[in-house]
Amino acid sequence: MVEQNEYAKIIIKGNEYEFPLIVGSEDEISIDFRKFRSTTNNIITYDPGYGNTGSCISNITFIDGEKGILRYRGYPIEQLAENSTFEEVCYLLIYGELPSKSEFQKFKSTLNYHDLIHEDMKKFFEGFPPNAHPMAVLSTMISSLSTYYPYNGDDQLDLQIIRLLAKVNTLAAFAYKKSIGQPYIYPRNDLSYIGDFLHMMFAVPSEPYHVNPVVERVLDKLLILHADHEQNCSASTVRMVGSSQGGIYSAIAAGVSALWGPLHGGANQAVIEMLKMIQKDNNDVDKYVKKAKDKNSSFRLMGFGHRVYKNFDPRATILKKAAEEVLNELGIQDPLLDIAQKLENVALSDEYFIDRKLYPNVDFYSGIIYRALGIPENMFTVMFSIGRLPGWIAQWKESRMDPDFKIHRPRQIYNGPNIRNYIPVSDRI
Ligand code: ACO
């Protein structure tokens, strides 16, 4: 961050105020409003949805929505997706640099060491109804980690982080096993992070399970693409909850809940549901494009549009190619891929979508890949959570280490009734 000797001038009711500009390392300019309210005698800014508000200064992820750029700690997403692994990206996001060989070895073996969950935690899974959504189960189980591994202050930060990364895989796979009535499969330390997850999801005690390297590699890529996305709804939730200085587990559990909604991570499940609906309706893509444009309908094309990307989502570009490749390699023909491609073509040539800069986002093709890997629909957003976990941890940690750390407490413009006197219920009509 560079603070320039340049100022923004604001005139309010005839009074002129000056506020310094802050320029980020990619030349993004912002106005420093930290002293705005105190300088202007209690005037505040109004920005519902925070589309114009920088809530922090961050070194983690850079996005240029106009140019379709996404970088973690300076590394382009395309290079990481092609050459790195999810475990390495976890390290990069959380500790700020790519690990040396020995650091990486140590990181991986520590993750392995902590991947078992307390045996008593299995009893929780027994208590959930069989059709419980795995996102609800995941959020609850992450929250319950604070009862088994209490937060003992920031000196235990690294241990808490490792525990989270290591155990969330196990918790997610156990949630799935519970939902289909199969026995839990314990983690295996000879497998990679992703390989172990696949084994816990798909192995059964009665036969050997071999991790398919094609499946392992594409899942690795998917999780890398989901690993962070700066101040999105769930990351901001993690920062917000963390700002009261509660433990990391409660903040991450809140992040999982925020991600679940269909306007955020829940969109990957919603995309597949939409594609199936179109398939059932004689593959009538045009009908659904028309419906999405109809102002009297609340229907939206799921997997289209993004608050930040206004030209293309670089993750969607990588995933479109990956979806075609993985279906080819696994010899799967999915009619939903054809519908998705047709929908994309129709929408991208339609004025409504062009004018509003609505393009496929990361969720548009991820569901097709998850289906090909045999991951059930209600686990899609759980997969997103596993991918986003290092990002949430990095955001939480950065916020906690911030010298300007403050509890998050926005203001409001009150527009309700003015003062009025209470009338006892016996005197009311
Ligand atoms: N289908 C049809 N119209 C849309 C869509 C869509 N998917 N998305 C936006 N629009 C229209 C809106 O109706 C609005 O039209 P108007 O200007 O005529 O009123 C205009 O485009 C702008 O939309 P906003 O909702 O204001 O855009 P915002 O930036 O607030 O929302 C969002 C972004 C939530 C992602 C939105 O595009 C959407 O609902 N998409 C579908 C859900 C989805 O795919 N979510 C996943 C996002 S990626 C992620 O979280 C990982």
CATH of the domain at 248: 1.10.580.10
pLDDT per residue rounded down to tens, the chain (429 residues): 656 679 999 999 999 999 999 999 999 999 999 999 999 999 999 999 999 999 999 999 999 999 999 999 999 999 999 999 999 999 999 999 999 999 999 999 999 999 999 999 999 988 999 888 999 999 999 999 999 988 777 778 899 999 999 999 999 999 999 888 899 999 999 999 999 999 999 999 999 999 999 999 999 999 999 999 999 999 999 999 999 998 899 999 999 999 999 888 888 888 999 999 999 999 999 999 999 999 999 999 999 998 888 888 999 999 989 988 898 999 988 899 889 989 989 888 999 999 999 988 888 889 889 998 989 998 999 999 999 999 999 999 999 999 888 999 999 999 999 999 999 999 999
Q: How many domains does the chain have?
A: 2
Q: Which atom of ligand 1 is nearest to the CA of 259?
A: 50
37, 64, 91 - which closes a domain: 64
56 and 91 housed in the same domain:
no
Return the residue matching tokens 């909604």: 261
Is 303 a pocket residue for ligand 1 (Cβ < 6 Å)? yes
39 and 188 housed in the same domain:
no
148 and 242 housed in the same domain:
yes
Is 265 a pocket residue for ligand 1 (Cβ < 6 Å)? yes
200 and 91 housed in the same domain:
yes
Rounded-to-integer distance, Cα 193 and Cα 170, Å:
10
51 and 82 housed in the same domain:
no
25 and 167 housed in the same domain:
no
246 and 338 housed in the same domain:
yes
194 and 314 housed in the same domain:
yes
The DSSP 8-state label assigned to residue 19 in this structure reads E
**Positions marked catalytic:** 306, 363
Is 291 a pocket residue for ligand 1 (Cβ < 6 Å)? no
CATH code of the domain in which 17 resides: 2.20.28.60
Q: Is residue 69 part of a domain?
A: no
9 and 116 housed in the same domain:
no
Q: Which residues pair with 20 in a beta bridge?
A: 7
Is 290 a pocket residue for ligand 1 (Cβ < 6 Å)? no
Q: Is residue 237 part of a domain?
A: yes
Q: Is residue 222 part of a domain?
A: yes
State the distance from the centre of ligand 1 to the C-alpha of 305, rounded, in angstroms. Answer: 5
Q: Is residue 416 part of a domain?
A: no
Ligand 1, atom 9, residue with closest C-alpha:
305
* Longest distance between any two alpha carbons in the chain, whole Å: 79
Q: Which atom of ligand 1 is nearest to the CA of 292?
A: 2
402 and 297 housed in the same domain:
yes
Q: Which long-range contacts (CB under 8 A, 24 or more apart) does 219-223 make?
A: 219/194, 219/373, 219/383, 220/85, 220/86, 220/192, 220/194, 221/81, 221/318, 221/322, 222/319, 222/322, 222/366, 222/369, 222/370, 222/383, 222/387, 223/86, 223/89, 223/194, 223/383, 223/386, 223/387
H or E segment and range at residue 229: none
Q: Is residue 421 part of a domain?
A: no
State the distance from the centre of ligand 1 to the C-alpha of 161, rounded, in angstroms. Answer: 34
184 and 46 housed in the same domain:
no
Print the domain residue range for 164.
76-410
- Angle at which helix 157-180 crosses helix 134-148, to 10 degrees, equals 140
Q: Is residue 423 part of a domain?
A: no
349 and 223 housed in the same domain:
yes
